[in-house]
């Protein structure tokens, strides 16, 4: 499904991983629309849904703090949420990454359920590992 310059789609045939790809030049409005689409798509299944945010281009212009503050609580509405993994090949500044981690904890997304990685393959591998650990627990 396309949301302006951002694509939101299932990353696997089983519909257990949702991925949204942020396009070059994306805006905060497009990002927020993609998050809302992601929430709606997560309701299509009752099983665990992991989320991959593929952002190879960095953050849109403007102050990210109010934008991220607005978005993070939306993730807590996904009742079957597993991991939230952000791919950011242009690594966010440590300060912003720390703020995102704190914000996710405040809204009830455990620290061990959100992380940053460098590639799509790494994100998929981390999800496989987490699912394996969860099954053994």
Summarised one tens digit per residue, pLDDT across range 1-12 is: 555 578 999 999
The pLDDT value recorded for residue 116 is 82
Residue 38: which CATH number? 3.90.190
Q: What is the structure's pLDDT at 65?
A: 77
As given in the structure block, the two tokens for residue 14 are: 């089983």
- Where is 42: in which H helix or E strand? helix 28-42
d(CA 70, CA 81): 18
For residue 54, pLDDT beyond 50: yes
Each residue's pLDDT tens digit, 55-114: 887 778 888 778 877 887 888 888 899 998 988 765 555 545 555 565 555 445 555 677
Triad 113, 114, 117: Cα angle to 5°: 130
* Domain encompassing residue 92: 2-136
Domain count, the chain: 1
- pTM over 0.75? The answer is yes
Burial of residue 87 (number of CB atoms within 10 Å: 0-12, 13-18, 19+): buried
Cα–Cα distance for residue pair 87/103, rounded to 1 Å: 18
């Amino acid at each position: 499904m396309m949301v302006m310059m951002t694509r939101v789609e299932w990353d696997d045939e089983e519909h257990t991983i949702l991925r949204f790809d942020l396009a070059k030049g994306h805006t905060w409005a497009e990002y927020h629309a993609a998050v809302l689409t992601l929430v709606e798509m997560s309701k299509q299944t009752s099983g665990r849904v992991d989320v991959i945010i593929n952002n190879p281009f960095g953050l849109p212009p403007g102050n990210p703090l109010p934008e991220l503050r607005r978005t993070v609580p939306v993730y807590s509405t996904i009742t079957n949420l597993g991991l939230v993994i952000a791919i950011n090949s242009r690594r966010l500044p440590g300060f912003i990454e720390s703020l995102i981690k704190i914000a996710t904890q405040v809204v009830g997304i455990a620290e061990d359920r959100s992380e940053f990685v460098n590639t799509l393959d790494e994100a998929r591998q981390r999800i496989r590992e987490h699912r394996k650990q969860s099954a053994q627990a």
